[in-house]
A and B are shown apart, each in its own frame.
Chain A
Amino acid sequence: MSQPKKVDRRKFIYAGLGAVALVAIGAATYLVLSPQLAGPKKLTLMMFNSPETDWIKSMAEEYQKRTGVEISFDVISRETYWDKLDTTLLSKGSEVDLVTMHAPMLGDYAKSGAVQSLSSYIDNKTLFPYDKEGYIRTALDATKYKNEIYGLPLWFSTEFLYYRKDLIKDESALKTWDGYLETAKRFTKTYNPSSPTEYGATMFGKKHIEQVMEWYPFYWSFGGRFPKFNSKESVEATQFYVDLFLKHKVVPPDADTYVWEHTFNAFKFGKVALSINWDANYLANWHETYGENLGITTTPAKSTTTNPAAYLLTWVIAVNAFSKMKEEAFKFAAWLTADPDAVTKVARMGLPVPSNYILNDAQLMQEKPHWKLMVDYVSKYGFAEPATPGWLKVRNILMTHLADAMVGAVSPQDALDAAQKEVDEALRE
């Protein structure tokens, strides 16, 4: 047993330190909390990590300079964003004022009263001194639930087929899925040892919403139509999709763990020659890396006589119905998406706001050639998810069963049959 005196002193030191720490932390916490009571108005915007976040952040800085309203960003990692969105909006909390999400998701949140109806705000000239017609009509329609607008269109996205122009001289080979497969094989070292790249293509293989979104163009171009997922065409599309990984192995062997960043890096560092990926990748560095050698085209079609499919995803910015600063929040969102100057500015940085100001800006369209392509493809071959409530769950169901099919645990037919059953139930609710 150690001498009591010595131990006592040490105990005192620890206790003393502990008390000091307690007091210090208590004070610090208080300080951190109290500015919200007084001081400049502060909005909180929750987004996920993506190139678009940085662009919007700089716009927020400018907004602060103009109006004094500070906007703080809660940036969540891409994978966990959707869950966090749920808890935040579900809980009727007021920590977050603005959120971003996909247009089809608005239905669910609008139905449960978690997001604020914005129609009345838009009609209010003090809150919305802009031209409503600035928005592209279809984009604005996608934000409606029961005829009320629940979000402002923030940006629209599609998936392109990117390819290495320096390696693939003839784009016509990529017009059909079979051609895509052939090309991918040509660039996979196991088929062609002299290939300059390791593998042919990337896939969003991890069990995640983004896999479902990658799968959509396959599904639609083969003839699948919402909300029927176990049709013959859909099964065929899914079989082709999973075979890329399971049978033909033209993608890296751990592609079933890939999320966006893996596909991004794989293409950027020359490990693959093809990548079906988001439009934002162009500006967020792929163009910088490859310049003229970056090829963009639509995702392939089933055959030379059928059309390819261009998946249109509209992002919206919505106001938390329980926010304590709804009008301020709305003002920022409105400025960002409807003020001609703001829109052009953020577009110049790289954000494709669904606004006519951008479409009509010839110079802008020239600077961002991929947008011209995007508008072109979407108007010719575009399809989007319906804005029905319950769609959130549908995506989730698809995600679960696709993941099973992806690793060969079940056949595409079985996976889709099971999915269809659950989807029907979900949509009935």
Chain B
Amino acid sequence: MALKGEVFMNRKFGLKEIGYTILLVIIVLLSNFPILWTFKISIEPVDLIFKEPLRVIFSPTIQGYRVVLGEFSLFFFNSIAVALLSTLLSIIIGFPAAYSIARFNTGGENLSFWILSLKFIPPVAFLIPMYIWISSIGLLDNILGLVLVHLILNLPLTIWFLRSYIEEIPIENEEAAMVDGCSRAQAMFHITLPLTSSAIVATAVLAFITSWNEYLSALVLTYTRAKTWPVALAQFIGLFRVSYNELAAAAMIGMIPSIALAIIMRKHLVRGMTLGILK
């Protein structure tokens, strides 16, 4: 399980190491406890949840999942569509933008800072303007409308990240290629792009997760057709049968794509984060 560049100290596996390992285990358990508890609730019969809150052993039921998946699969699909699209677009737009800032210093320092400072602003602040804007172009309750907004939320981070990464890559490779007759664009695609693949993956994963979990804009901009998962989840509160198990089931299902991505992409995540941060 060694990642590249790991420093191997003396291989003694003594008491200190065991102590650290135990500590890690405890921390992992503690930090995952809420998730495990939610899982328990998602398979628990509703009455038991309230009558015996501490009980851990019972005969499980998948009733919650059945209800949630039955009625709400559209919202799951919507979430995936929005997250995928906005991630892809943010990479497609972000990479060339980052490249141009890194290589040509487009817009100078001002542009870079301005893009990054956009991250500071609470989305609540542009709730109404955003709504009016999206409404005026007729993209309310539409996956594309939400994608547009998520793009604006994701792009600053994407551009910033990729820019730092690209700056680390020596320009000689591209210059060599151009001497050989490539145009700038070709150089960018064939040389720089492959080299930044880790960073792209890392950024893409972060963008996806952000978009997937986004709640406020989705709440305001969607109604019945483009509603996404977090908004659907919030709906479960107030059901008169107050089905906490359905809520928990919905929460668990909502976690799946993000966790799956994190697991699949973990190598890239670490590698990509490294250089993307150092600048």
| A interface residue numbers (CB < 8 A to B) | 1, 4, 7-8, 10-11, 18, 21-22, 25, 28-29, 32-33, 44, 46, 48-51, 54, 72-80, 84, 87-88, 91-93, 95-96, 259-261, 264-265, 268-269, 280, 284-285
Contact = CB atoms under 8 A, between A and B. Distances in A.
A280 B238 CA distance: 13
A388 to B, nearest CB: 25
Interface string B239-255: 11110000000000000
Main secondary structure of the interface of B (DSSP, over half): helix
Contacts of A285: 240-241
Given A74-B223, A87-B131, 7 more contacts: A18-B88, A25-B81, A28-B77, A33-B225, A73-B224, A78-B238, A261-B242
Given A18-B88, A25-B84, A48 B223 contact: no
A14 to B, nearest CB: 8
Contacts of A11: 193-194, 197
Contact of B140 (A28, A51, A93, A265): A93
B246 to A, nearest CB: 12
Question: Ordered nearest first, which 6 A-B pairs have the shortest CB separation?
Answer: A49-B238, A78-B238, A284-B240, A51-B240, A269-B50, A77-B234
B51 interface: yes
A28 B81 contact: yes
Interface stretch (B15-23, B36-44, B58-66, B141-149): B141-149
Contacts of B77: 28
Given A95-B140, A261-B238, A32 B197 contact: no
Nearest to B200: A14
Interface size, B (range): 35 or more
A49 B85 contact: no
A260 B242 CA distance: 10
B132 interface: yes
A71 to B, nearest CB: 11
A10 B265 CA distance: 13
Contacts of A29: 81, 142-144
A427 to B, nearest CB: 24
A43 to B, nearest CB: 11
A4 B240 contact: no
Contact of A50 (B88, B132, B223, B240): B240
A55 to B, nearest CB: 11
A51 B241 CA distance: 9
A265 B50 contact: yes
B229 to A, nearest CB: 14
Contacts of B236: 77
A84 B194 contact: no
A175 B197 CA distance: 73
A22 B50 CA distance: 45
Contacts of A88: 223
A7 B235 contact: no
Interface of B: 50-51, 77, 81, 84-85, 88, 128, 131-132, 135, 140-144, 193-195, 197, 219-220, 223-225, 227, 234-242
Contacts of B85: 22, 25
Given A32-B225, A95-B223, A77 B141 contact: no
Contacts of A49: 235, 237-239
B235 A77 contact: yes
Contacts of A7: 194, 197
A285 B243 CA distance: 13
Contacts of A28: 77, 81
27 contacts: A22-B85, A22-B88, A25-B85, A28-B77, A28-B81, A29-B81, A29-B144, A33-B142, A33-B225, A49-B235, A49-B237, A49-B238, A49-B239, A50-B240, A73-B224, A74-B224, A78-B237, A79-B238, A84-B219, A91-B135, A93-B140, A95-B141, A95-B223, A261-B237, A261-B238, A265-B242, A284-B240
A280 B239 CA distance: 13
Nearest to A281: B240
B220 A79 contact: no
A84 B219 CA distance: 8
Given A74-B223, A269-B51, A80 B242 contact: no
A93 B142 contact: no
